Amino acid sequence: MSNRLPPDLVRHLQGDATFDYKAFVAIHDNEQKTSSIRINPAKVFDLSLLDIDRPIPWCKEGYYLKKRPVFTLDPLFHAGCYYSQEASSMFLDFVVRQLNLHLEPIRALDLCSAPGGKATLLNATLHRDGLLVANEIIKGRAAVLRENLMKWGNPNVIVSNNDPSAFGRLPGYFDLMVVDAPCSGSGMFHKDHNAIDEWSMANVKLCSERQQRIIANSIASLKTGGYLFYSTCSYSKEENEDIVDWMIDTFGLESVSIPVEDAWGIEVSQSEKHSATSYRFYPHKVAGEGFFCAVLKKRDEQDSVSLKKVKTDKNAAPQGLAERWANMDGLYSFLHHDLLHIFPKSYELDLGALQKVLYLKNAGTEIGRVVGKDLIPSHDLALSNRIHKDIPYLDLSLEDMLTYLRKENLPSTVNPDGLKGWVIVRYEGMDIGWIKAMPNRINNYYPKEVRIANL
């Protein structure tokens, strides 16, 4: 492996006299990798069901696993009980808490969000009455982002599918902006050896230009006094500290220092021009992959979008229908075509404003399709943290649940009490999906697009 590391990157790293290059090479020659997850605090389950090794020190809900399981075969993964996320990137949780951004409701944007690691983290860490907009420019990846946030189960989320430039039309709107920027990927060399063959200085330059374009086109959406969390999975300063200096020069931002424990192994670095503080994660120093991040605060005055002139359409949602299925405390329901959604009432005007400037993939929780005076419940509702707990349910064994997740026919023996109609299926007490119990059969309503293959 050591002789495969790109020479240009090697020269850059060896230029730092304090960098332990031998240890860096050795860890890349070592095929042993860490596996980590982050628990969904809204879905309380028995942690002993997971093969947990130890906590991740910079993330309240993060844990290292003793070994990497086949997540696809764990129903708790499909229930949204946890998210498989690389440990270094969970540092965002520590930053949010150090800045006390979790204490009051704020508006947050995760600009380059798919597949959803940082978005689900924000949705768990930030105040439950805040609003998260998770954006992804690539359509297919936006669908994956929507699915992962849906499994997380909270209604205070909007998923958008837009170029970052669209957010320039929302000046001063967000209190927090997370930009996990597309990068050259050298931080993934330890985890993914194929990334080595794709790396080049030309790609570093291309990524640096792309990062500048993404930030320049969207930074106006961050309010005065708002925070920007910028990160990459690259070791190249052209994509990291140099970008931080460029942002300070160009957009009136200032560096914010976050105190970290020496024992964590995180390297605190300074940019060349402004001595801005940033954080580097190296796999030979931390139990995690390569990662870079910096925190900045917008100092310059920023005009803000006004919601006062926003007009909402007449709400055509059938009154009382959502209340039959979900806890509507602080929420309202609205129709999108014939699909009924629930969303925080306090952000009704926000949704109207966002709809005018963004293409929205999803807003809130889709709870079902309206048919006459009835509702065909959606899979989103089954995984929602707002679903009524008195809806009929069946607890399935692991074998039966895997049959369900493959969207195969369930035996009638799973319904010994003869429940009829819409029924939730559970595993270890956690809701996973719908069946419709008929007199002579059980219809499996698990979505075909997310069913698991026969592993």
112 is in an annotated binding site: yes
Q: What is the pLDDT of residue 454?
A: 65
* Residue 13: pLDDT over 90: no
Q: What is the pLDDT of residue 78?
A: 98
* Residue 202: pLDDT over 90: yes
Query: What is the residue whose two structure tokens read 């130890």?
Result: 54
192 is in an annotated binding site: no
163 is in an annotated binding site: yes
Q: What's the pLDDT tens digit per position in 296-323?
A: 999 988 888 888 777 777 787 888 999 9
CB 40 within 8 A of CB 124: yes
* Residue 15: pLDDT over 80: no
Q: How far apart are CA 34 and CA 67, in angstroms?
A: 8
- Compute φ and ψ for 378, nearest 5 degrees: -95, 165
Q: How far apart are CA 181 and CA 198, in angstroms?
A: 17
pLDDT band at 263 (very low <50, low <70, confident <90, very high): very high
* Residue 14: pLDDT over 70: yes
Instruction: Describe the crossing of helices 201-218 and 241-251 by its angle, rounded to 10 degrees.
Output: 30
Q: What is the pLDDT of residue 137?
A: 97
Reported as type and span, the H/E element at residue 455 is: none
Instruction: Describe the crossing of helices 139-152 and 117-125 by its angle, rounded to 10 degrees.
Output: 30
Return the structure tokens found at 169. Answer: 């039309």
Between 100 and 191, residue with greater pLDDT: 100
329 is in an annotated binding site: no
131's CB contacts (< 8 A; 6+ apart) are 105, 106, 107, 108, 156, 157, 158, 344, 347, 350
Q: What's the pLDDT tens digit per position in 402-414?
A: 999 999 999 999 9
* Residue 98: pLDDT over 60: yes
Q: What is the pLDDT of residue 192?
A: 84
Between 348 and 9, residue with greater pLDDT: 348
Q: Mean pLDDT throughout 218-229?
A: 97
Q: What is the pLDDT of residue 4?
A: 79
Comparing 39-48, 131-140, 181-190, 308-317, which segment has the lowest mean pLDDT?
Answer: 308-317
Q: Please, which residues bridge with residue 371 across strands? A: 374
Q: Mean pLDDT throughout 133-153?
A: 97
113 is in an annotated binding site: yes
User: Would you say the C-alpha torsion 222, 227, 233, 237 has a positive or negative sign?
Assistant: positive
114 is in an annotated binding site: yes
Q: How far apart are CA 108 and CA 226, in angstroms?
A: 10
118 is in an annotated binding site: yes
**CA distance to 146, 224, 346, 351, 427, per residue, from 159 (Å):** 6, 24, 18, 11, 28
CB 266 within 8 A of CB 286: yes
Q: Please, which residues bridge with residue 255 across strands? A: 296
* Residue 374: pLDDT over 80: yes
453 is in an annotated binding site: no
Q: What is the pLDDT of residue 2?
A: 52
Q: What is the pLDDT of residue 191?
A: 86
Q: How far apart are CA 114 and CA 111, in angstroms?
A: 9
* Residue 241: pLDDT over 90: yes
Ramachandran class of 30: left when φ > 0, alpha when ψ lies in -120 to 50, beta otherwise: beta
Does 207 participate in catalysis according to the annotation?
Answer: no
Q: What's the pLDDT tens digit per position in 72-93?
A: 999 999 999 999 999 999 999 9
Cis amide leading into 115 (omega within 30): yes
263's CB contacts (< 8 A; 6+ apart) are 57
Q: What is the pLDDT of residue 455?
A: 57
* Coil, helix or strand at residue 347: helix
Q: How far apart are CA 8 and CA 176, in angstroms?
A: 35
Comparing 193-207, 310-324, 428-442, which segment has the lowest mean pLDDT?
Answer: 310-324
- CA nearest to 325, candidates 255, 279, 378, 361: 378
- Compute φ and ψ for 131, nearest 5 degrees: -130, 130
> Which DSSP state fits 80?
T
Q: How far apart are CA 438 and CA 409, in angstroms?
A: 13
pTM: 0.96
Q: What is the pLDDT of residue 414?
A: 94
All structural domains of the chain, each given as residue ranges with its CATH number in brackets, are: 87-298 (3.40.50.150), 392-454 (3.10.450.720)
Q: Mean pLDDT throughout 343-360?
A: 95
Name the average pLDDT for the chain.
94
Among candidate residues 59, 183, 207, 233, the one labeled active-site is 233
